[in-house]
């Protein structure tokens, strides 16, 4: 048995880890097109005025409800790397929405969301919030029972104004997408399978016994984190993917192929798979493998491209001709959804957080009343929201102080600005991703960042000092947009993959997982990887 895992991001790493234990006699081959593994989980330390400051380019905190991640943390032995944020902390209790002037009658500026009647926004929406449970009971499903957009669902339960002012802002923070385009059935928890939130709690189990179970085993970590709102790692969220990579490198039945983009995945007439890939380390070489099973964690459009048969007269140097069957059904719906591109901008200021922003996790901004612009501009740079990193993860920079102490007395403030998604990207490709080194320590602030700072200053209703550092991460096509009907389309895709080859299917030995299929969050991706190949037992 030889299993090929395509894609070395979080889903692919999780799959390779679980498969190497679930099938100890099999060879697990992990292919990644770049030199680096880990996908969008990227953490780096910057030396800023003599201090090491951790900056995140992808997800920065996790909720303890993600059982598959907790199981992975147990098995990797990285519990001591955790930093936790309690449910009583400002980062857990205070989250904001910024309402632009003129967007909502009687309300503007930063407003807390949640059970806070001192918030003008929550006061305005008190009645829609109180009646929501009854409306949900009576009106959960659309009249025809079919899928609909999140905005359509939220408008029916909460009303149009609240669905726009709060709902679209929240979706900016999760999917970086237009709530009018996102599928309700594929993204909201009301339609999720119950098993998604189930787990085991046996602290004495082993990896070998856990990976053959359909439910993750969190051991005692659930009890340890019972009062925790969110958590991260001392060295950032890339700790998780680095630990996975290091663990796989020590597994005798796991092999990592870096800088090895996949060219083709096709089926031979004898029903074995032919995987063509390019090895680009030192020099380019075309190579083929013949795995018995395949798990793809590639973006769905990429997987679509590699599963297309080439014409028999094609002159490509990798095999696609006589041995390849043409009776397979095309795998459907791989190119239906689009993806959001997001610019993540870390900013570091030389003053305590109390001089920059109110205590809390950060704020999100709703969809403009006039809709999204067709072009980026200085007036609308497309800010989705701002995360107050120093309120939740200050212990990455100073473990000796609590986030509350750091808020008043810290030496610097970290915030992260998210831009793009449904907006046109504002920051040009020519802008440096970090400041050029200067012998005098001065930081030259690009004009586009100065414009963004002007908008943030307006949001926070206070002047801002110049940042002493910035770091830009260009995350292109990083979050798939689950359009209406996504869940049903994925079911149709799975039917083709599992159908017998004699009926035109792929024989049940190819699985497609990852952010494009069943959830974009870190726990979703880890869970999908964890469960890959369970049907092959």
* Strand spans (E) along 280-319: 285-289, 293-296
Of 231, 462, 186, whose CA–CA distance to 333 is shortest?
186
Would you state the pLDDT for residue 145? 79
Q: Are strands 339-349 and 293-296 parallel, antiparallel or unpaired?
A: unpaired
Does 208 have pLDDT greater than 80? yes
In angstroms, the CA 66 to CA 53 distance is 27
The mean pLDDT value for 411-430 works out to 97
For 424-468, the pLDDT digits (tens) are 999 999 999 999 876 556 789 999 999 999 999 999 999 999 999
Does 71 have pLDDT greater than 60? yes
**Strand partners of residue 349:** 413
Who contacts 250 (Cβ-Cβ below 8 Å, separation ≥6)? none
Does 327 have pLDDT greater than 80? no
Q: What is the DSSP letter of 465?
A: P
Would you state the pLDDT for residue 267? 87
Average pLDDT, the chain: 92
Would you state the pLDDT for residue 116? 84
DSSP 90-141: HHHH--EEEEEEEEETTEEEEEE-SS-TTSHHHHHTHHHHHHHHHHHHHHSS
Who contacts 300 (Cβ-Cβ below 8 Å, separation ≥6)? 333, 334, 335, 337, 480, 512, 514, 516, 517
User: pLDDT > 90: what percent of the chain?
Assistant: 85
What pTM was computed for the model? 0.94
The mean pLDDT value for 198-220 works out to 94
For 264-315, the pLDDT digits (tens) are 999 888 888 999 999 876 677 888 899 999 999 999 999 999 998 665 444 4
For 73-117, the pLDDT digits (tens) are 999 999 999 999 999 999 999 999 999 999 999 999 999 998 888
Using an 8 Å Cβ cutoff, are 304 and 298 in contact?
no
For 232-269, the pLDDT digits (tens) are 999 999 999 999 999 999 999 999 999 999 999 998 88
Would you state the pLDDT for residue 176? 97
* Strand spans (E) along 447-490: 469-480
Can you give the length of the chain in residues?
537
Who contacts 116 (Cβ-Cβ below 8 Å, separation ≥6)? 122
| Structure tokens given for 518 | 């069943």
Count of CB atoms within 10 A of residue 308's CB? 12
Of 412, 357, 411, whose CA–CA distance to 386 is shortest?
357
| Structure tokens given for 523 | 């726990």
Per-residue confidence at 388, pLDDT binned at 50, 70, 90? very high
Of 336, 338, 328, whose CA–CA distance to 307 is shortest?
328
Who contacts 436 (Cβ-Cβ below 8 Å, separation ≥6)? 444
| Structure tokens given for 108 | 């503007």
For 100, phi then psi, to 5°, come to -60, 145
In angstroms and rounded to an integer, the radius of gyration of the C-alpha atoms of the chain is: 24
Would you state the pLDDT for residue 222? 92
For 495, phi then psi, to 5°, come to -60, -40
Would you state the pLDDT for residue 438? 60
For 135-179, the pLDDT digits (tens) are 988 888 887 779 999 999 999 999 999 999 999 999 999 999 999
Of 235, 227, 202, 219, whose CA–CA distance to 41 is shortest?
235
CA angle, 66 then 70 then 73, to 5°: 140
């Amino acid at each position: 048995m030889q299993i090929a895992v395509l894609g070395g991001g979080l889903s692919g790493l999780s799959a390779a880890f679980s498969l190497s234990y679930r099938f100890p006699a099999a060879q697990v081959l992990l292919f990644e097109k770049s030199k680096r593994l880990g996908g969008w989980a990227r953490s780096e330390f910057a030396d800023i005025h003599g201090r090491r400051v951790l900056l995140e380019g992808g997800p920065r905190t996790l909720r303890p409800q993600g059982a598959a991640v907790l199981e992975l943390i147990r098995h990797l032995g990285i519990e001591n790397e955790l930093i936790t944020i309690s449910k009583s902390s400002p980062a857990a209790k205070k989250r904001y929405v910024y309402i632009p002037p003129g967007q909502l009658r009687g309300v503007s500026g930063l407003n807390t969301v949640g059970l806070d009647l001192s918030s003008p926004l929550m006061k305005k929406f008190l009645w829609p919030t109180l009646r929501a449970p009854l409306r949900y009971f009576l009106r959960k499903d659309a009249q025809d029972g079919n899928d609909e957009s999140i905005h359509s669902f939220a408008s029916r339960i909460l009303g149009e104004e609240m669905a726009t002012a709060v709902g679209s802002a929240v979706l900016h923070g999760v999917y970086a997408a237009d709530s009018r385009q996102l599928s309700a059935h594929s993204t909201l928890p009301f339609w999720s399978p119950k098993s998604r939130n189930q787990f085991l709690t046996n602290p004495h189990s082993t990896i070998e016994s856990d990976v053959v179970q359909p439910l993750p085993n969190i051991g005692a970590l659930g009890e340890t984190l019972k009062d925790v709102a969110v958590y991260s790692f001392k060295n950032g969220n890339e700790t998780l993917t680095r630990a996975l990579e290091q663990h796989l490198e020590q597994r005798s039945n796991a092999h990592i192929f870096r800088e090895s983009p996949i060219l083709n995945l096709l089926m031979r007439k004898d029903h074995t798979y032919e995987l063509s890939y390019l090895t680009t380390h030192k020099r380019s070489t075309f190579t083929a493998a013949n795995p018995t099973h395949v798990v793809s964690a590639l973006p769905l459009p990429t997987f679509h491209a590699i599963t297309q048969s080439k014409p028999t007269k094609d002159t490509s140097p990798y095999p696609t001709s006589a041995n390849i069957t043409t009776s397979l059904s095309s795998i459907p719906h791989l190119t239906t959804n689009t993806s959001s591109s997001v610019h993540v901008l870390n900013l570091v200021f030389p003053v305590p957080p109390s001089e920059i922003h109110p205590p809390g996790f950060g704020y999100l901004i709703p969809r403009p009343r006039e809709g999204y612009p067709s072009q980026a501009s200085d007036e609308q740079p497309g800010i989705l929201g701002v995360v107050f990193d120093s309120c939740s993860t200050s212990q990455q920079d100073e473990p000796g102080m609590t986030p509350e102490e750091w808020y008043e007395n810290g030496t610097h403030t970290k915030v992260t600005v998210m831009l793009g998604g449904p907006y046109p990207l504002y920051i040009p490709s020519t802008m440096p991703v970090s400041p050029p080194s200067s012998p005098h320590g001065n930081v030259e602030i690009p004009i586009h960042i100065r414009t963004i700072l002007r908008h943030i200053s307006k949001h926070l209703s206070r002047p801002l000092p110049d940042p002493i550092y910035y770091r830009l991460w260009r995350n292109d096509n990083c979050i798939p947009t689950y359009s209406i009907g996504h869940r049903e389309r994925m079911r149709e895709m799975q039917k083709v993959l599992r159908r017998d080859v004699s009926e035109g299917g792929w024989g049940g030995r190819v699985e497609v997982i990852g952010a494009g299929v069943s959830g974009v969050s870190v726990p979703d991706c880890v869970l999908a990887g964890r469960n890959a190949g369970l049907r092959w037992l």
